[in-house]
Protein backbone atom coordinates (compact mmCIF):
# COMPACT_ATOMS: atom_id res chain seq x y z
CA UNK A 1 0.00 0.00 0.00
CA UNK A 2 1.26 3.41 -0.86
CA UNK A 3 2.51 5.47 1.98
CA UNK A 4 0.38 8.52 2.73
CA UNK A 5 1.89 11.81 3.84
CA UNK A 6 -0.03 14.63 5.51
CA UNK A 7 1.22 18.18 5.99
CA UNK A 8 -0.20 20.41 8.71
CA UNK A 9 -0.65 23.92 7.34
CA UNK A 10 -0.09 26.85 9.68
CA UNK A 11 -2.00 29.96 8.68
CA UNK A 12 -2.96 33.35 10.02
CA UNK A 13 -5.40 35.99 8.80
CA UNK A 14 -6.23 33.99 5.69
CA UNK A 15 -2.63 33.49 4.56
CA UNK A 16 -0.67 30.22 4.70
CA UNK A 17 2.66 30.26 6.51
CA UNK A 18 5.89 29.93 4.48
CA UNK A 19 6.32 26.47 5.99
CA UNK A 20 3.40 25.20 3.84
CA UNK A 21 5.72 25.25 0.81
CA UNK A 22 8.60 23.78 2.80
CA UNK A 23 6.57 20.80 4.02
CA UNK A 24 5.58 19.76 0.50
CA UNK A 25 9.28 19.78 -0.40
CA UNK A 26 10.11 17.74 2.72
CA UNK A 27 7.38 15.25 1.73
CA UNK A 28 8.79 14.94 -1.79
CA UNK A 29 12.29 14.34 -0.39
CA UNK A 30 10.90 11.76 2.02
CA UNK A 31 9.03 9.67 -0.55
CA UNK A 32 8.43 11.18 -3.97
CA UNK A 33 5.90 8.46 -4.81
CA UNK A 34 3.66 9.09 -1.80
CA UNK A 35 0.49 11.15 -2.19
CA UNK A 36 0.65 14.31 -0.06
CA UNK A 37 -2.40 15.88 1.53
CA UNK A 38 -2.51 19.32 3.12
CA UNK A 39 -4.52 19.54 6.34
CA UNK A 40 -6.04 22.99 6.79
CA UNK A 41 -8.01 23.53 9.97
CA UNK A 42 -9.82 26.70 10.96
CA UNK A 43 -13.08 28.46 10.33
CA UNK A 44 -14.86 30.89 8.01
CA UNK A 45 -13.79 32.84 4.94
CA UNK A 46 -10.13 32.97 5.99
CA UNK A 47 -10.03 29.19 5.97
CA UNK A 48 -11.37 29.02 2.40
CA UNK A 49 -8.78 31.55 1.28
CA UNK A 50 -5.97 29.46 2.77
CA UNK A 51 -7.34 26.27 1.17
CA UNK A 52 -7.37 27.92 -2.27
CA UNK A 53 -3.81 29.16 -1.78
CA UNK A 54 -2.55 25.79 -0.61
CA UNK A 55 -4.26 23.93 -3.48
CA UNK A 56 -1.74 25.58 -5.80
CA UNK A 57 0.98 23.47 -4.15
CA UNK A 58 -0.84 20.37 -2.86
CA UNK A 59 -2.88 18.00 -5.04
CA UNK A 60 -5.13 17.14 -2.13
CA UNK A 61 -6.34 19.63 0.46
CA UNK A 62 -8.48 18.54 3.37
CA UNK A 63 -10.43 21.35 4.97
CA UNK A 64 -11.93 21.21 8.45
CA UNK A 65 -14.21 24.11 9.32
CA UNK A 66 -15.17 24.30 12.97
CA UNK A 67 -15.72 27.30 15.22
CA UNK A 68 -13.68 25.54 17.92
CA UNK A 69 -10.68 25.87 15.58
CA UNK A 70 -10.84 29.67 15.22
CA UNK A 71 -7.75 29.77 17.41
CA UNK A 72 -5.39 26.80 17.00
CA UNK A 73 -5.49 25.26 20.47
CA UNK A 74 -3.16 22.28 20.10
CA UNK A 75 -5.37 20.03 22.23
CA UNK A 76 -8.38 20.67 19.96
CA UNK A 77 -6.31 20.27 16.80
CA UNK A 78 -4.85 17.02 18.09
CA UNK A 79 -8.28 15.56 18.69
CA UNK A 80 -9.36 16.40 15.15
CA UNK A 81 -6.15 15.06 13.58
CA UNK A 82 -6.44 11.74 15.42
CA UNK A 83 -9.83 11.31 13.76
CA UNK A 84 -8.56 12.27 10.30
CA UNK A 85 -5.08 10.77 9.91
CA UNK A 86 -5.24 7.08 8.96
CA UNK A 87 -3.14 4.51 10.76
CA UNK A 88 0.39 4.14 9.43
CA UNK A 89 0.45 7.56 7.72
CA UNK A 90 3.17 10.17 8.11
CA UNK A 91 2.28 13.59 9.49
CA UNK A 92 4.63 16.51 8.86
CA UNK A 93 4.31 19.52 11.17
CA UNK A 94 6.41 22.70 11.30
CA UNK A 95 8.74 22.70 14.30
CA UNK A 96 7.76 25.95 16.00
CA UNK A 97 5.73 26.85 19.07
CA UNK A 98 2.50 25.32 17.80
CA UNK A 99 4.14 22.21 16.37
CA UNK A 100 5.95 21.66 19.66
CA UNK A 101 2.63 21.95 21.49
CA UNK A 102 0.81 19.54 19.20
CA UNK A 103 3.19 16.90 17.94
CA UNK A 104 4.58 14.81 20.84
CA UNK A 105 1.07 14.08 22.11
CA UNK A 106 -0.22 13.49 18.57
CA UNK A 107 2.40 10.77 18.06
CA UNK A 108 1.22 9.01 21.22
CA UNK A 109 -2.46 9.20 20.24
CA UNK A 110 -1.68 7.90 16.74
CA UNK A 111 0.68 5.30 18.25
CA UNK A 112 3.26 6.49 15.73
CA UNK A 113 6.99 7.22 15.92
CA UNK A 114 8.03 10.80 16.71
CA UNK A 115 10.98 12.53 15.07
CA UNK A 116 11.31 16.17 16.13
CA UNK A 117 13.10 19.14 14.54
CA UNK A 118 14.32 17.39 11.41
CA UNK A 119 16.71 19.39 9.21
CA UNK A 120 17.35 16.90 6.40
CA UNK A 121 16.24 13.53 5.02
CA UNK A 122 18.97 11.06 4.04
CA UNK A 123 17.40 7.80 2.93
CA UNK A 124 14.29 5.65 2.90
CA UNK A 125 14.62 1.86 2.77
CA UNK A 126 11.40 -0.02 3.34
CA UNK A 127 10.05 1.29 6.63
CA UNK A 128 13.38 2.67 7.80
CA UNK A 129 13.68 6.40 7.31
CA UNK A 130 17.05 8.03 7.98
CA UNK A 131 16.82 11.64 9.10
CA UNK A 132 19.24 14.36 10.14
CA UNK A 133 18.79 16.23 13.42
CA UNK A 134 21.01 18.50 15.47
CA UNK A 135 21.95 18.30 19.15
CA UNK A 136 23.65 20.62 21.61
CA UNK A 137 22.24 23.78 20.01
CA UNK A 138 23.55 22.82 16.57
CA UNK A 139 27.09 21.99 17.68
CA UNK A 140 26.79 18.45 16.33
CA UNK A 141 24.49 16.67 13.88
CA UNK A 142 23.11 13.14 14.09
CA UNK A 143 21.64 10.59 11.72
CA UNK A 144 18.49 9.14 13.22
CA UNK A 145 16.64 6.02 12.12
CA UNK A 146 12.88 6.34 12.35
CA UNK A 147 10.69 3.23 12.11
CA UNK A 148 7.73 4.08 9.88
CA UNK A 149 5.91 0.76 10.26
CA UNK A 150 3.32 2.28 12.63
CA UNK A 151 3.40 5.71 10.96
CA UNK A 152 5.26 8.77 12.17
CA UNK A 153 4.85 12.35 13.27
CA UNK A 154 7.82 14.38 12.05
CA UNK A 155 8.40 18.03 12.83
CA UNK A 156 10.37 19.99 10.25
CA UNK A 157 12.64 22.90 11.07
CA UNK A 158 11.60 26.11 9.33
CA UNK A 159 13.95 27.03 6.50
CA UNK A 160 15.55 23.56 6.30
CA UNK A 161 13.78 22.54 3.08
CA UNK A 162 13.95 25.17 0.35
CA UNK A 163 10.59 25.32 -1.42
CA UNK A 164 10.30 24.80 -5.14
CA UNK A 165 7.69 27.40 -5.99
CA UNK A 166 7.55 26.47 -9.65
CA UNK A 167 5.46 23.35 -9.05
CA UNK A 168 1.81 23.89 -9.68
CA UNK A 169 -0.52 21.29 -8.27
CA UNK A 170 -4.01 22.52 -9.18
CA UNK A 171 -5.24 20.56 -6.20
CA UNK A 172 -8.77 19.85 -5.05
CA UNK A 173 -10.20 20.92 -1.72
CA UNK A 174 -12.26 18.32 0.14
CA UNK A 175 -14.41 19.34 3.10
CA UNK A 176 -13.61 16.84 5.83
CA UNK A 177 -15.48 18.69 8.58
CA UNK A 178 -18.04 15.90 9.05
CA UNK A 179 -15.25 13.35 9.63
CA UNK A 180 -13.42 15.50 12.16
CA UNK A 181 -15.67 14.42 15.00
CA UNK A 182 -16.25 16.34 18.18
CA UNK A 183 -13.67 19.11 18.51
CA UNK A 184 -14.48 19.92 22.13
CA UNK A 185 -11.81 19.44 24.77
CA UNK A 186 -11.84 19.91 28.47
CA UNK A 187 -8.81 20.97 30.39
CA UNK A 188 -7.26 23.70 28.27
CA UNK A 189 -8.97 26.85 27.11
CA UNK A 190 -7.40 29.66 25.08
CA UNK A 191 -7.86 33.01 26.84
CA UNK A 192 -5.98 35.75 25.01
CA UNK A 193 -2.75 36.88 23.35
CA UNK A 194 -0.71 39.36 25.35
CA UNK A 195 1.28 41.43 22.88
CA UNK A 196 4.98 41.99 23.53
CA UNK A 197 5.82 45.18 25.34
CA UNK A 198 7.34 47.87 23.19
CA UNK A 199 10.80 48.78 24.42
CA UNK A 200 12.56 52.13 24.38
CA UNK A 201 14.23 51.23 21.08
CA UNK A 202 12.51 49.52 18.15
CA UNK A 203 15.29 47.22 16.93
CA UNK A 204 13.15 46.09 14.00
CA UNK A 205 13.86 49.50 12.46
CA UNK A 206 17.59 49.66 13.26
CA UNK A 207 20.06 49.78 10.36
CA UNK A 208 23.02 48.73 12.45
CA UNK A 209 22.77 46.34 15.39
CA UNK A 210 25.41 45.47 17.94
CA UNK A 211 24.03 42.22 19.31
CA UNK A 212 25.29 40.53 22.44
CA UNK A 213 25.01 36.95 23.68
CA UNK A 214 26.06 34.64 26.46
CA UNK A 215 29.76 35.45 25.86
CA UNK A 216 29.32 38.72 27.76
CA UNK A 217 29.31 36.62 30.97
CA UNK A 218 28.27 39.39 33.37
CA UNK A 219 25.75 42.20 33.40
CA UNK A 220 28.44 44.75 34.25
CA UNK A 221 30.21 43.91 31.00
CA UNK A 222 27.26 45.29 29.02
CA UNK A 223 28.83 48.71 29.45
CA UNK A 224 31.42 47.89 26.79
CA UNK A 225 28.67 46.84 24.37
CA UNK A 226 26.89 50.15 24.93
CA UNK A 227 30.17 51.99 24.36
CA UNK A 228 30.77 50.17 21.08
CA UNK A 229 27.20 50.75 19.88
CA UNK A 230 27.52 54.44 20.75
CA UNK A 231 30.80 54.73 18.85
CA UNK A 232 29.25 53.04 15.81
CA UNK A 233 25.93 54.86 15.98
CA UNK A 234 24.21 51.50 16.35
CA UNK A 235 21.45 50.07 18.54
CA UNK A 236 22.00 47.24 21.02
CA UNK A 237 20.16 43.95 20.61
CA UNK A 238 20.77 40.54 22.15
CA UNK A 239 20.15 36.81 22.11
CA UNK A 240 17.88 34.90 24.43
CA UNK A 241 20.16 34.18 27.42
CA UNK A 242 20.61 37.92 28.01
CA UNK A 243 16.84 38.41 28.29
CA UNK A 244 16.44 35.27 30.42
CA UNK A 245 19.00 36.75 32.82
CA UNK A 246 16.95 40.00 32.80
CA UNK A 247 20.02 42.02 31.75
CA UNK A 248 18.17 43.55 28.77
CA UNK A 249 14.45 43.86 28.06
CA UNK A 250 12.59 41.33 25.90
CA UNK A 251 12.02 43.97 23.18
CA UNK A 252 15.74 43.80 22.38
CA UNK A 253 15.80 40.03 21.79
CA UNK A 254 16.46 38.87 18.22
CA UNK A 255 15.04 35.48 17.28
CA UNK A 256 11.95 33.45 16.52
CA UNK A 257 10.61 34.00 20.02
CA UNK A 258 11.69 37.68 19.97
CA UNK A 259 11.97 40.31 17.28
CA UNK A 260 12.58 39.86 13.56
CA UNK A 261 15.18 42.42 12.51
CA UNK A 262 16.38 43.51 9.07
CA UNK A 263 19.45 45.69 9.57
CA UNK A 264 22.15 46.43 6.99
CA UNK A 265 24.89 45.39 9.39
CA UNK A 266 24.64 42.88 12.25
CA UNK A 267 27.52 42.52 14.67
CA UNK A 268 27.08 39.29 16.67
CA UNK A 269 29.21 39.36 19.82
CA UNK A 270 29.52 36.19 21.89
CA UNK A 271 26.44 34.73 20.19
CA UNK A 272 26.62 31.04 19.27
CA UNK A 273 24.08 31.37 16.46
CA UNK A 274 21.29 28.91 17.26
CA UNK A 275 18.68 28.48 14.52
CA UNK A 276 16.15 30.21 16.74
CA UNK A 277 18.37 33.29 16.89
CA UNK A 278 19.26 33.28 13.18
CA UNK A 279 15.56 32.87 12.35
CA UNK A 280 15.03 36.42 13.59
CA UNK A 281 17.54 37.99 11.17
CA UNK A 282 16.07 38.79 7.75
CA UNK A 283 17.01 40.89 4.74
CA UNK A 284 20.48 39.33 4.26
CA UNK A 285 22.52 41.82 6.33
CA UNK A 286 26.32 41.94 6.46
CA UNK A 287 26.98 39.75 9.52
CA UNK A 288 30.17 40.00 11.55
CA UNK A 289 30.64 37.39 14.28
CA UNK A 290 33.07 37.54 17.17
CA UNK A 291 33.19 34.40 19.30
CA UNK A 292 35.90 32.60 21.24
CA UNK A 293 34.61 29.21 20.09
CA UNK A 294 35.92 28.71 16.53
CA UNK A 295 33.26 26.02 16.03
CA UNK A 296 30.29 28.19 16.94
CA UNK A 297 27.51 27.79 14.33
CA UNK A 298 27.42 31.59 13.92
CA UNK A 299 30.57 31.38 11.78
CA UNK A 300 28.62 29.39 9.19
CA UNK A 301 26.05 32.15 8.87
CA UNK A 302 28.35 35.17 9.17
CA UNK A 303 30.09 37.01 6.34
CA UNK A 304 33.12 37.84 8.44
CA UNK A 305 34.36 36.12 11.58
CA UNK A 306 36.85 36.82 14.34
CA UNK A 307 37.85 34.17 16.87
CA UNK A 308 38.35 36.20 20.03
CA UNK A 309 37.06 36.71 23.54
CA UNK A 310 34.62 39.62 23.22
CA UNK A 311 35.57 40.83 26.70
CA UNK A 312 39.03 41.66 25.33
CA UNK A 313 38.14 42.42 21.70
CA UNK A 314 35.16 44.75 22.12
CA UNK A 315 36.84 47.46 24.25
CA UNK A 316 39.71 47.67 21.78
CA UNK A 317 37.36 47.88 18.80
CA UNK A 318 35.26 50.55 20.51
CA UNK A 319 38.35 52.56 21.35
CA UNK A 320 39.69 52.44 17.77
CA UNK A 321 36.34 53.49 16.31
CA UNK A 322 36.00 56.33 18.83
CA UNK A 323 39.57 57.53 18.07
CA UNK A 324 38.89 57.48 14.36
CA UNK A 325 35.93 59.82 14.66
Within residues 177-206, the interface with another protein by CB under 8 A covers 185-197
Residue 59 Cβ, how far from another protein at the closest point, in Å?
29
Q: b vs e for 175-205, b when ≥16 Cβ sit within 10 Å of the residue's Cβ?
A: ebbeebeebebeeeeeeeeeeeeeeeeebee
Which residues pair with residue 253 across a beta bridge? 238
C-alpha pair distances (Å), 33 with each of 27, 61, 130, 239: 10, 17, 17, 42
What's CA 295's distance to the chain center, in Å?
23
d(CA 165, CA 226): 43
Q: Say whether residue 232 binds another protein (CB under 8 A).
A: yes
Residues 214 and 242 sit within 8 Å (Cβ to Cβ): yes
Single out the residue of 320, 276, 268 nearest to residue 298, CA to CA: 268
Q: Which of residues 151-180 bind another protein (CB under 8 A)?
A: 152
Cβ proximity to another protein: between 68 and 144 the closer is 144
Q: Which of residues 7-36 bind another protein (CB under 8 A)?
A: none
Q: Which of residues 261-300 bind another protein (CB under 8 A)?
A: 264-265, 267, 286-289, 293, 295, 299-300
Query: ∠ CA 34-36-41 to the nearest 5 degrees?
Result: 155
Q: Which of residues 94-113 bind another protein (CB under 8 A)?
A: 96-98, 100-109, 113
Q: Say whether residue 145 binds another protein (CB under 8 A).
A: yes
Count residues near another protein (CB under 8 A): 99
Q: Which of 208, 221, 222, 262 binds another protein (CB under 8 A)?
A: 208
Q: Which of residues 124-143 bind another protein (CB under 8 A)?
A: 130, 132-137, 139-143
Cβ proximity to another protein: between 56 and 288 the closer is 288
Amino acid sequence: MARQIFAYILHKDGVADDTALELVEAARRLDASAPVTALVLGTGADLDKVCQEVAATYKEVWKVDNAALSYPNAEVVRKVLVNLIPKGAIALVPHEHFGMDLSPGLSIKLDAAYAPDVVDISALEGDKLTLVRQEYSGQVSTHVACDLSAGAVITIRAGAFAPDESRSAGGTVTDKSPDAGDAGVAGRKFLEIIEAEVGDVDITKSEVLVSVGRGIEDQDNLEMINDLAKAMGADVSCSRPIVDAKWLEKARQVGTSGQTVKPKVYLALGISGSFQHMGGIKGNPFIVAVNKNAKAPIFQAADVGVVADILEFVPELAEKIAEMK
